[in-house]
A and B are shown apart, each in its own frame.
Chain A
């Protein structure tokens, strides 16, 4: 058996979601379940009676059957395609058909609320859960066109849970998610791009499963349409919230956003009126708060590409701390451009960074630096800098010396051809 559970967005420990407020919504769900349990039981008895009446042939007429079903006890608190109201749509989020239904949703909601509070206040999370969930349930109820389901109640917290999922994707789509990975004898955390699983989770599985909901024969008893509706509503509400907050797309967590909106201005004033230094200080200060934020790193890399001459060696050393192996693997092109710009500006690559960068990454960067029809000095610059940084590592040093020797004919032939 294997387990892969999303734990939190990939953020530093002090930004990780806390458990405190996470319990409020699950407790509300559990309380509502016990409070409405008599209605669920009464509804079950009503449906048992309906089966008996149908078997006896007393409900042959569809109008009679519809009239009987419209009086279901559960429809006093939940919605159905032919019987709905806004208040009942709001309340349907807190109703569950059984203990298993409740348990699965409680687990999902705990995870959903927990990760969403990394980005938005709890009150907004609660509002998105209720509004998004209600809209999802209404979406499903109004889109469901088969007459056999006219009075089937649409209930449960899963639409709200998908609304939270939509919110999470809106806030964290460009960043990574940390998953708990469990396998017998091995467990740990693994970080993957959020966008990869977006396509798998949402587009592929839920949208395809919801297509089968239109067909009664392949219906699996799960309200996939409400999931899709809830997800869309959650996305729209989250986008609206981001616009109201004026949340820049490069920021990932609430901590960064608060620093950006409240304190960064004062910090930048201390730098004076130098726009390049102000940008540099801005990006690095935010990276100190969240060193996993790849979007900020890309901004910093772009700044170095454009203004390589303006930075001191100390500045570069400070900036390159953030370009770790994972960032280089995922954003090879940005780092390649940066190395080229630094070489053209006559700047050295920070030794600390070279020492920490694995050999396979240097090879990949070198492959990216090769340009047809030009001097291959960029590649030589990178490899020789790497060799100098690893002068104390004899094995690696020999390996790099052998590589440079093999590269010699290729770089020499170009120099000869250009008449040097």
Chain B
């Protein structure tokens, strides 16, 4: 008689995981909104990280471009500076996409926000944002910048304008109930 391997019942585990994930999202929604001071601090931390990485990419590619332009084999290629310029822009944009959009979608915040215990979530459901919502939030943040901050300062819940327009909210997730 042929023995068939018994398949583990994964449906119960999956539904339990869903229940627990929902509990976590509800918990995040109940948490207080992040104070503006903390949001400002996380913004400056992000600026430092972004500067360090983009500056390093620029330096490395600058050094490589110089090396190739000096070498006898490659110096005859007229498109070499264009290629390195393209690579520079490509790497920096990819990094910024990863840092400002993917990290918010996958981890719930940029490095600065995560270090300070903040999470960006959907204001209605408490779920992490998806890529279109994060992109819209980022774009609105860039457009409204100071106005967004002024609106947040005038509101008791300290929610920024770009967060309201994008349907998101930044919560302080650490601490007891």
Interface residues of A (CB under 8 A from B): 2, 4, 181, 183, 185-186, 190, 192, 200, 204-205, 208-209, 211-212, 214-215, 217-218, 358-360, 363-364, 366-367, 370-374, 376, 379, 393, 395-396, 399, 403, 406-407, 409-411, 413-414, 417
Contacts and interface: CB of A to CB of B under 8 A. Distances in A.
Interface of B: 7-17, 19-24, 27-28, 37-38, 40-41, 44-45, 48-49, 52-53, 56, 59-60, 62-63, 66-67, 115-116, 173-177
B27 A363 contact: yes
A2 B37 CA distance: 12
Contacts of A204: 52-53, 56
Contacts of B17: 367, 370
Nearest to B8: A373
Contact of B63 (A214, A376, A403): A214
Contacts of B175: 358
Nearest to A209: B59
Contacts of A218: 59, 62-63, 66
Contact of B177 (A192, A359, A410): A359
A186 B53 contact: no
Contacts of A411: 12, 16
Contact of B19 (A374, A393, A403): A403
Contacts of A4: 45, 48
Contact of B60 (A211, A372, A399): A211
Given A370-B13, A372-B13, A181 B41 contact: yes
A366 B20 contact: yes
B173 A414 contact: no
Contact of A212 (B28, B44, B59): B59
Contact of A373 (B13, B16, B174, B176): B13
A290 B23 CA distance: 35
A179 B24 CA distance: 30
A372 B13 CA distance: 5
B58 to A, nearest CB: 10
A367 B21 contact: yes
Given A205-B52, A205-B56, A370-B20, A215 B67 contact: yes
A81 B52 CA distance: 30
Contacts of A366: 20
Given A211-B63, A376-B16, A183 B44 contact: yes
A408 to B, nearest CB: 9
A395 B176 CA distance: 12
Contacts of A373: 7-10, 13
Nearest to B11: A413
Given A218-B59, A359-B177, A360-B24, 18 more contacts: A183-B44, A186-B38, A200-B49, A209-B56, A211-B63, A215-B66, A215-B67, A360-B28, A363-B20, A366-B20, A372-B9, A372-B13, A372-B14, A373-B10, A376-B13, A379-B20, A407-B16, A414-B12
Contacts of B27: 359-360, 363
B45 A2 contact: yes
The interface centre, meaning the residue of B13, B24, B52, B173 with most chain A CB atoms within 10 A of its CB, is: B13
Nearest to A390: B177
Contacts of A212: 59, 62-63
A336 to B, nearest CB: 13
Nearest to B49: A200
A327 B68 CA distance: 49
A364 B174 CA distance: 13
Contacts of A371: 13
A184 to B, nearest CB: 8
Contact of B41 (A186, A363, A406): A186
Contact of B173 (A186, A192, A360, A399): A360
A190 B24 contact: no
Given A2-B44, A372-B9, A373-B8, A407 B19 contact: yes
A403 B21 CA distance: 11
Contacts of A360: 24, 27-28, 173-174
Given A183-B37, A192-B115, A211-B60, A410 B9 contact: no
A375 B51 CA distance: 50
A214 B48 CA distance: 26
A213 to B, nearest CB: 9
